Amino acid sequence: DGGITQSPKYLFRKEGQNVTLSCEQNLNHDAMYWYRQDPGQGLRLIYYSQIVNDFQKGDIAEGYSVSREKKESFPLTVTSAQKNPTAFYLCASSIRQGASFGEQYFGPGTRLTVT
Amino acid sequence: AQKITQTQPGMFVQEKEAVTLDCTYDTSDPSYGLFWYKQPSSGEMIFLIYQGSYDQQNATEGRYSLNFQKARKSANLVISASQLGDSAMYFCAMSDYTGTASKLTFGTGTRLQVTL
């Protein structure tokens, strides 16, 4: 079955440690995205990538880093510089449609808790 | 900058009734897309429906329809014949088509509870 996988579902880390969240898709989608969701709020864009080896900052990129070495994979690293890393992280992907991109499909999310 | 406003934090509807979830948006771009997503308690975001800014007709997908009023900058979601499984958070979102990947701006969501 085609889809987006994120692992792990729950992640616990100590303050000061970097942590990498995995996102893999087998939909052959061109673009991939990372969002953060805090309780009672909508999603905010962290980083996005529309092609391999290229990515752009979203609205809240500080304290995060990404890579896009393969079309299928877009891992997110939450660094120790991120002041409030505890949140629900969602990865998404979309297919190129001419000059634009189609609707975004989301993975199941990773809930990160930093203490 | 784009902005999405959802003014209903929570809504109740009886099973088999229709319900409208409100969404207003603000943008200076002439070309944009409007989306609705459903988020059940499991957390995954499920795409429901899409409306392009140049589409003349309102989008429909099964029991979901989008009431698009461009002049009023509103994109309300209508769910007909509500089911218990419709209980979830619903998010309105907007994308820009400025040549890059379609970044989404989300509203704060509406929690829908379907009752017997």
Tokens for A71?
A: 């079309």
A49-53, A102-106, B107-111: the lowest-pLDDT one: A102-106
Residue where the block lists tokens 């014949």: B81
Output DSSP code: residue A20: E
Q: Is the pLDDT of residue A102 over 80?
A: no
Q: How many residues does chain A have?
A: 115
Asked if residue B102 has pLDDT above 90, the reply is no
Residue A106 to residue A43: CA distance in whole angstroms: 12
Task: For residue B97, name the pLDDT band (cuts at 50, 70, 90).
Answer: low
Please give the full DSSP string across A52-112, using - where no structure is assigned: TTEEEE-TT-TTEEE--SBTTB--EEE-TT-S---EEEEEEEE-EETTEE---EE---EEE
> Is residue A98 very low, low, confident or very high in pLDDT (cuts 50, 70, 90)?
low
- Over the stretch B3-28, which tens digit does the pLDDT of each residue have? 999 999 999 999 999 999 999 999 98
Residue at A79: amino acid letter: T
**Contact at 8 Å (CB) between A37 and A62?**
no
Q: What is the mean pLDDT of residues A47-56?
A: 92
Q: Residues in chain B, how many?
A: 116
User: CB B43 to CB A109 under 8 A?
Assistant: yes
What is the structure's pLDDT at A96? 76
Asked if the Cβ–Cβ distance from B104 to A111 is below 8 Å, we say: no
Q: B56 is written with which tokens?
A: 């003349």
Chosen for mutation from A4, A23, A25, A43 (greatest number of chain B CBs closer than 10 Å) is: A43
Per residue in B20-49, pLDDT (tens digit) is 999 999 998 888 889 999 999 999 999 999
CA distance B92 to chain A (A): 9
Both structure tokens of B92: 């309105």
> What are the chain B neighbours of A56 within 8 Å (beta carbons)?
100-101
From the list A42, A48, A108, the residue facing B43 with the nearest CB is: A108
Chain A, nearest residue to B95 by Cα: A103
More confident residue, A40 or A9: A9
Pairwise CB contact (< 8 Å): A50 & B101: yes
Two tokens, residue B27? 């943008």
Lowest mean pLDDT among A43-57, A66-80, A99-113, B97-111: B97-111
pLDDT at A99: 64
Return the residue of A nearest to B111 by Cα: A40
pLDDT at B99 over 60: no
- Rounded (10°) CA dihedral A2, A46, B101, B70: 100
Instruction: Tell me how far CA of residue B49 lies from CA of B17, B76, B79, in angstroms.
Output: 20, 11, 11
Residue contact A49–B101, C-beta within 8 A = yes
Size of interface A-B (CB pairs under 8 A): 67
| Token pair 């409306």 in the structure block, residue | B51
CA angle B29, A29, B94 (to 5 degrees): 25
Residue A1: is its pLDDT beyond 80?
no
- pLDDT confidence band for A2 (50 / 70 / 90): confident
Express each pLDDT in A22-46 by its tens digit. 999 999 999 999 999 998 888 999 9
Q: Contact, B23 vs B8, CB < 8 A?
A: no
